Amino acid sequence: KDNEMKKLYYKFTKKYWSILSYEHAKKHNFIVQYGIFKNLKMNHEISWGRGDIASKIYGFYENKIQQKLKDINNPILIDIGAADGFFAIGSLKSKICEFCYAFEETKKSRENLSKTAKINNVQNKLSIIGKVTKDNFFTLLPSKINFSEVTILCDIEGGEFDFFSDEILATIRYSNIIIEIHKNHNKNLEIDLLERVKKYFDVSIIIDNDKNFESVSELHALNDIDRNLICSEGRSYIGKWWHLSPK
């Protein structure tokens, strides 16, 4: 009985989170207010019902990854699993990179990506490409690309264990790579990938936990629960990335 009630409360909380988040995004006209992607205009359509929109508006969303991209500061970004383009277009808009190749398999997301690029006036610096596999990756990119000028950001919901084959890693060995590592019931997949990448790269682990409210003054008057929900990304476990830097 208790468990049933807990599940129900959790459902209500997620719904409340979504409503609260959308209200805050609307209040700021869907424009990022803080952080590295400040002034990025979000596409209204994709934001509906997306609970993480407020964390994007206030500069909290995967902010360690935003910072890492800024620190690396390579002219070319390859965004694998670009979704609605938060990182692709945020990086272009804030001039962290000069050109972005965005891979996204979902048609709806590709359409939104294109719209978001236009409202931020960066459509000429973006190439939107469909589904990528380890077999077609290099054929979908210009043959003259210099991988030492490239940062690769990858978030493909567990596909990373298959995608980063030895052959691919050898070719991109002079790039900086940020991979979101997803939980998998087969622990060996992660161990094997780590072994492969260590041949060519130094690996540092990034754990998502940097939510500092100090400078975000409009959240100071909120109650603790609302404030924490607003910066929540709605994950089912804490975010983890590997940053691979060339040896």
Tell me: the pLDDT tens digits for 121-139? 999 999 999 988 989 999 9
Is pTM beyond 0.95 here? no
pLDDT given at position 76? 97
pLDDT given at position 208? 85
Helix (H, G, I), strand (E, B) or coil at 179: strand
d(Cα 72, Cα 210) in Å, to the nearest integer? Answer: 19
Task: DSSP letter for 224, please.
Answer: H
Extract the tokens encoding 172: 């991109």
Report the pLDDT averaged over residues 39-66: 86
Length of the chain measured in residues: 247
> Which residue has 């001039």 as its token pair?
95
pLDDT given at position 1? 76
> Which pLDDT band, with edges at 50, 70 and 90, does 48 fall under?
low
pLDDT tens-digit readout, 168-189: 999 999 999 999 999 888 888 9
pLDDT tens-digit readout, 157-166: 888 999 999 9
Helices H / strands E in the chain, number of each: 10, 7
pLDDT given at position 84? 87
> Which pLDDT band, with edges at 50, 70 and 90, does 45 fall under?
confident
Report the pLDDT averaged over residues 84-97: 95
pLDDT tens-digit readout, 211-229: 888 889 899 999 999 999 9
| 205 HSE (CA, 13 A, CB side) | 8
Asked if 78 contacts 164 with a C-beta cutoff of 8 angstroms, the reply is no
* Residue 67 reports pLDDT greater than 80: yes
* Residue 47 reports pLDDT greater than 60: no
d(Cα 35, Cα 86) in Å, to the nearest integer? Answer: 13
Helix (H, G, I), strand (E, B) or coil at 183: coil
Percent pLDDT > 70 in the chain is 98
pLDDT given at position 228? 93
Average pLDDT, the chain: 92
Report the pLDDT averaged over residues 7-32: 94
1-5, 77-81, 96-100, 175-179: which has the minimum mean pLDDT?
1-5
